[in-house]
């Protein structure tokens, strides 16, 4: 429980920002939530409900919504940023005049910036130069959090104050906050799993079974960790909530928007139709493009991501791609989920795995 009434600002009026604002308020914080839509602001302040993104859930009435960034940020100690990756930098730039080095800035966004390949915490670092920067990721379907289902997340930061303050502000009877100092790994886990959630939704719609989903998820974990380790992340992070945990939930639930995009395509819709029917962000569509290009550049083997890319953007039928992947050359090596050299190194060096 919060030791004192912490002042929390949430940037973003979507489902995750709304769920987090309510948790912080349930936990005793003073919460302001910024969004662009005046109608939604009025609805949240009068009816305590976000009718556009979480219509069936009551919000904590303490959450005060506003379209005025300055008033939301002015005295905030903790700023949670739940803005899709495409708009993240522009919102941070708009917020910059009212951000202070003493504030704790936390991204909750599971995506990658288009041109820079920056994760959102890197955007925060670049734009502000502050030190209290962190990310939240884990198996955190917004509507289940809004429903107060028992949930756990990870706050990742190299800065101990950031980890502690987020745990104090958000940790409560239905939301448990673990800590990690592998910010890059936790943030990559959140972004990468969206790719495989699209594939899992597609597989389900095509009538593929539980064996298939399990194979997909397990080999996805191998791919994700291979890529992340090549990027400097701790492989052990991928065995935690922000790795396999988030992969499980998004590859298994139709509450995941990425899963839903894949499912709609498996039912015969085009990518454009699937995305526009969703009306919310599905980060994986952009992430798969960026990750495939980066994997090629770095020489990282990612057959599932590349297969999904070809289905989404080159019009290869998903069934054909599944056949190609199944018939790929079989290695006689022992099956490894985490790159073995990285595991040995992590073990020897105990590279900061605190979850
Ligand atoms: N919804 C979920 O279950 C979870 C979402 N996330 C991540 O949180 C991030 C945000 O997701 P959601 O809240 O779910 O998205 P959403 O699609 O529900 O809402 C996005 C919000 O961002 C706003 N927005 C978009 N462009 C903007 C701009 N230029 N300026 C200001 N506001 C803008 C929209 O108006 C909307 O309020 C995503 O990266 C997602 O991966 C993470 C964990 C769980
Ligand atoms: O990240 C999420 C749950 O942890 C939400 O996933 P979607 O963005 O696919 O809905």
**DSSP-derived secondary structure for 131-189:** S-EEEEESS--HHHHHTT--EEEEEE-S-HHHHHHHHHHH-BTTEEEEEES-HHHHHHH
Looking at 128, 150, 181, the residue that finishes a domain is: 181
- Would 121 be classed as within a structural domain? yes
- CA-based torsion, 137, 17, 49, 276: positive or negative: negative
Q: Are residues 170 and 200 in the same domain?
A: no
Q: Which residues line ligand 1 (CB under 6 A)?
A: 12-17, 35-36, 53, 82-85, 87, 90-91, 108-111, 140-142, 280-281, 283
Residues 6+ apart with CB under 8 A from 236: 182, 338, 343, 346, 351, 353
pLDDT of residue 271: 96
Per the structure, the complete domain to which residue 324 belongs is given by: 193-346
Per-residue burial over 83-100, b = 16 or more CB atoms within 10 Å of its CB, e = otherwise: bbbeebbebbeebeebbe
pLDDT of residue 68: 98
Q: Are residues 54 and 133 in the same domain?
A: yes
- Would 351 be classed as within a structural domain? no
**Ligand 2 probe mutation, 109, 112, 141, 243, most atoms within 8 A of CB:** 141
Q: What is the mean pLDDT of each run of 10 residues along the chain (355 residues)?
A: 79 98 96 98 98 96 98 97 98 98 98 96 98 98 97 98 97 97 96 98 97 96 93 92 98 97 96 94 96 96 96 96 90 71 63 46
Interface confidence, given as ipTM, is 0.98
Whether residue 262 is annotated as binding a ligand: the answer is: no
Looking at 148, 181, 214, the residue that finishes a domain is: 181
Please give the C-alpha separations between residue 313 and each of 21, 83, 202, 264, 305, in angstroms, as whole numbers. 36, 25, 14, 15, 12
- Would 152 be classed as within a structural domain? yes
Q: Are residues 131 and 211 in the same domain?
A: no
Q: Are residues 204 and 176 in the same domain?
A: no
- Would 337 be classed as within a structural domain? yes
Instruction: Tell me how far the alpha carbon of residue 130 lies from the centroid of ligand 2, in angstroms.
Output: 28
pLDDT of residue 162: 98
- Would 114 be classed as within a structural domain? yes
Q: Are residues 202 and 130 in the same domain?
A: no
Q: What strands lie across the sheet with 175-180, from one edge to the other?
A: 64-66, 30-34, 7-11, 78-81, 104-107, 133-137, 151-156, 175-180
Q: Is 85 close to ligand 2, i.e. is its CB under 6 Å away? A: no
pLDDT of residue 354: 42
Residues 6+ apart with CB under 8 A from 18: 10, 33, 44, 50, 53, 54, 59, 142, 146
Catalytic site positions: 193
Total structural domains within the chain = 2
- CA-based torsion, 67, 151, 124, 283: positive or negative: negative
Whether residue 297 is annotated as binding a ligand: the answer is: no
Domain containing residue 24: CATH number: 3.40.50.720
Q: Are residues 144 and 259 in the same domain?
A: no
**Ligand 1 probe mutation, 12, 93, 124, 145, most atoms within 8 A of CB:** 12
Q: Are residues 291 and 240 in the same domain?
A: yes
Q: Are residues 14 and 150 in the same domain?
A: yes
- Would 82 be classed as within a structural domain? yes
Looking at 151, 181, 211, the residue that finishes a domain is: 181
- Would 352 be classed as within a structural domain? no
């Amino acid at each position: 429980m919060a030791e004192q009434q912490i002042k929390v600002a949430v940037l973003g009026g979507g489902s995750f920002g709304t769920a987090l604002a309510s948790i912080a308020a349930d936990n005793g914080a003073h919460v302001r939530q910024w969004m662009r839509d005046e109608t939604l602001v009025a609805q949240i302040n009068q009816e305590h409900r976000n009718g556009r993104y979480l219509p069936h859930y009551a919000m904590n009435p303490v959450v005060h919504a506003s379209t005025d960034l300055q008033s939301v940020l002015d005295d905030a100690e903790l700023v949670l940023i739940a803005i899709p990756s495409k708009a993240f930098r522009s919102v941070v730039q708009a917020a910059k005049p009212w951000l202070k080095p003493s504030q704790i800035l936390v991204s909750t966004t599971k995506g990658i910036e288009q041109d820079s390949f920056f994760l959102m915490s890197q955007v925060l670092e670049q734009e502000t130069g502050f030190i209290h920067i962190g990310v939240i990721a884990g198996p955190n379907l917004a509507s289940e959090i809004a429903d107060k289902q028992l949930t756990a997340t990870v706050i990742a930061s190299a800065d101990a104050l950031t980890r502690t303050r987020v745990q104090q502000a958000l940790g409560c009877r239905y939301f448990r906050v673990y800590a990690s100092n592998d910010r890059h790994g936790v943030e990559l886990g959140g972004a990468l799993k969206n790719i495989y959630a699209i594939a899992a939704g597609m597989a389900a719609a095509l009538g593929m079974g539980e064996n298939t989903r399990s194979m997909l998820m397990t080999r996805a974990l191998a791919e994700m960790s291979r890529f992340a380790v090549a990027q400097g992340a701790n492989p052990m992070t991928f065995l935690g909530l922000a790795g396999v945990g988030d992969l499980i939930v998004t590859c298994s639930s139709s509450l995941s928007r990425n899963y839903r995009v894949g499912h709609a395509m498996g039912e015969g819709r085009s990518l454009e139709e699937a995305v526009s029917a969703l009306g919310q962000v599905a980060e994986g569509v952009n992430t798969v493009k960026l990750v495939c290009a980066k994997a090629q550049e770095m020489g990282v083997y990612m057959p599932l991501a590349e297969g999904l890319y070809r289905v989404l953007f080159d019009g290869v039928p998903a069934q054909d791609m599944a056949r190609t992947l199944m018939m790929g050359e079989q290695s006689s090596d022992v099956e490894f989920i985490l790159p073995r050299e990285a595991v040995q190194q992590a073990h020897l060096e105990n590279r900061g795995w605190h979850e």
